[in-house]
Structure 1
Amino acid sequence: MADKITAQLGGAEETLFIPLAARARETGKRHPLLSDPRAVELVQSIDLPVGKYDRGRGSVVMVLRTALFDAWVRSFLDTHPHGTVVEIGTGLNTRFDRVDNGTVHWFDLDLPDTIALRRRFFADTDRRHSLAASVLDDDWMDRVATSPGPYLFVAEAVLVYLPEDDVRRTLTRIAHRFPDAGIALDTYSRRMMRMQHNRVEAAGLDARWGWACDDPRALESLGLRLVESTTIARPPQPLRRRLPLGYRITLPLLHQFLLRIGAFRVALLHTRPHPDGPGA
């Protein structure tokens, strides 16, 4: 493509190209775990050094994580087809394109520079809206609250870049404002944080993690209830049945390895219902 778009992003925002490149590479495989032609289109349209964001075998981990989050969103929509999904730190994620059921209401939330880049490729509709704001702001919650519930908040590979106090404050605010809502997120151990700091220095990236969580159950003190906690190598059964044979063979070993090293987990949590019931 002759005229590619130049992206000017901050250090943490720049990491959005890592999962984007991973999804594009996976899509090109003969038997992809996840097919994302929009990711291929975006990689071809943006002027970026793809090699800088090549994580080798780590790309498979990111694709597995994304596929598991997709499965949770689809499960939510199976039960609540007219509900609202909020993608926190959306980057250049194309999850809406992969899971849209024709009735879901959707918000893509990210910082203004990232949303400006997204708007080069994605247009708002009557069901899908971009929100240019920090997750630490308050106004975006007011906008989301105008959309019909129930709500599912998806935060894939984003909260880890915030300081712990900001993560706890954000989750507490969501729990207070949106009773009986779902929150899907990933947590990374202190050991993983130390490893990540070494990797980003070697790769020349300016995006250090700020939050470590060795056990997602610790988040229940914020007004949340842990529904599910697993590794990316233990996806829900419907997704597991659709995996290519090679993945089905190797995932049990990967699951045991991730448990042994205490690397990271994906967690599905629920905010607690309002004590006075809905609408109180």
Structure 2
Amino acid sequence: MISPSESKLAGVPRTMLMTTRARVEEHQRPDAILYDPKVMEWWSSLQWDPELDIFYSGSLAQLTWAVRAHLFDQITQRYLASHQEAIAIELGAGMSTRYYRVGQGYRYWLELDLPEITTLRRQLDTETDHHRFLAQSALDFTWMDELPGNPENLLIIAEGLLMYFKETQVQQLIDQLHHRLPGATLVFDALGGSSNSKGAKQLAQLGAPLNWFIKNEQDIAAMGLSLTSVQSLIQANCRYPHRIGFFRWVPWLSQLPPLRNACLILETTV
């Protein structure tokens, strides 16, 4: 069993245990939104960190992480359907098992994360010529040198990552993509709100402060990305009324800008 202390997980890398647990619990439900046998296989070799109990806050958080993963899966499937030579890279991959759920039809699939996470992945996963692991920060732009093929066949996935960067760092990433990978597709989530929210304060206590917030998708367009699709994660949760508690009685609340824009899933073209 691999423990967080042995892997020296701290700060943002530590948060991947929560999103991984969310997929494990979703897989076990009879009405699961997504099934993830690979994460179940890995979970038996991981060790939950009890100090995360106060941050893993109930069924709504678990649902939200599962729905987010499902929305990214759907975008990944649609992209493959329209790009026969598709290549994907997951930035801040954590313990993502998306490759096994929906990605094996891709020509190449790359998982990028910090060295401590990539070391952990290599203990659980198998690297091949077509499924590679890169041990570096997404802000070390040399990863762009590792991508084969035409950038117009490239899907860049950044799930649960960019909100931990400063706005200037997000802009630097976008500028580098414009310069080096024009025509690529970038799909990511972005948060509304502020660092004063309850969730942001909890993550700051965990050593993983949120740094980048937006008002709405127009902020993304202003940074130089072309919007292809925008989905509200809160509104997506409302598709599962039996699991959202109070909100099932007042679904119109999800239309209000502070809730609608609390987390947006954005598919963009560089």
- Give the superposition deviation at 1:117: 0.7
Q: Which residue of 1 aligns with 2:267?
A: 268
Query: What fraction of aligned residue pairs are identical, expressed as a percent?
Result: 24
Helix, strand or coil at the partner of 2:79:
helix
- Give the superposition deviation at 1:105: 1.1
TM-score, normalisation: structure 2: 0.86
Stretches of structure 1 lacking an aligned partner (at least 5 in a row): 272-280
Summarize the alignment of residues 66-81 of structure 1 with structure 2, pairs less than 5 Å apart.
66-81=69-84
1:188 to 185, 188, 191: 191
- Give the superposition deviation at 1:246: 4.4
Q: Which residue of 1 aligns with 2:31?
A: 31
Summarize the alignment of residues 39-188 of structure 1 with structure 2, pairs less than 5 Å apart.
39-49=39-49, 52=53, 54-56=56-58, 57-144=60-147, 146-149=148-151, 150-188=153-191
Deviations 1:119-178 (A, max 9, x none): 11112112111111111112111111x345411111111010111111111122112211
C-alpha RMSD over aligned residues: 2.6
- Give the superposition deviation at 1:264: 1.6
Contact 2:235–2:254 (8 Å) recurs in 1: no
- 1:15 paired with 2:11, answer no
- Which amino acid is 1:54 matched to? Y
> What CA distance in whole angstroms lies between the structure 2 residues aligned with 1:148 and 1:128?
18
> What CA distance in whole angstroms lies between the structure 1 residues aligned with 2:202 and 2:255?
21
Check 1:181–1:4 CA distance in 2 against 1; reply closer, same or farther (3 A cut).
Answer: closer
Check 1:179–1:43 CA distance in 2 against 1; reply closer, same or farther (3 A cut).
Answer: same
> What CA distance in whole angstroms lies between the structure 2 residues aligned with 1:258 and 1:61?
14
Deviations 1:28-70 (A, max 9, x none): 1112111112222222211222662633121101110110000
Deviations 1:157-215 (A, max 9, x none): 101011111111112211221111111111111247623233336xx511110111111
TM-score, normalisation: structure 1: 0.83
> What CA distance in whole angstroms lies between the structure 2 residues aligned with 1:106 and 1:211?
27
Contact 1:85–1:152 (8 Å) recurs in 2: yes
Helix, strand or coil at the partner of 2:90:
strand
Contact 1:18–1:55 (8 Å) recurs in 2: no
Helix, strand or coil at the partner of 2:197:
helix
> What CA distance in whole angstroms lies between the structure 1 residues aligned with 2:247 and 2:85?
33
- Which amino acid is 1:161 matched to? Y
Helix, strand or coil at the partner of 1:15:
helix
> What CA distance in whole angstroms lies between the structure 2 residues aligned with 1:4 and 1:264?
32
Check 1:215–1:83 CA distance in 2 against 1; reply closer, same or farther (3 A cut).
Answer: same
Of 10-19 and 95-104, deviating more is 95-104
> What CA distance in whole angstroms lies between the structure 2 residues aligned with 1:255 and 1:82?
40
Check 1:69–1:255 CA distance in 2 against 1; reply closer, same or farther (3 A cut).
Answer: farther
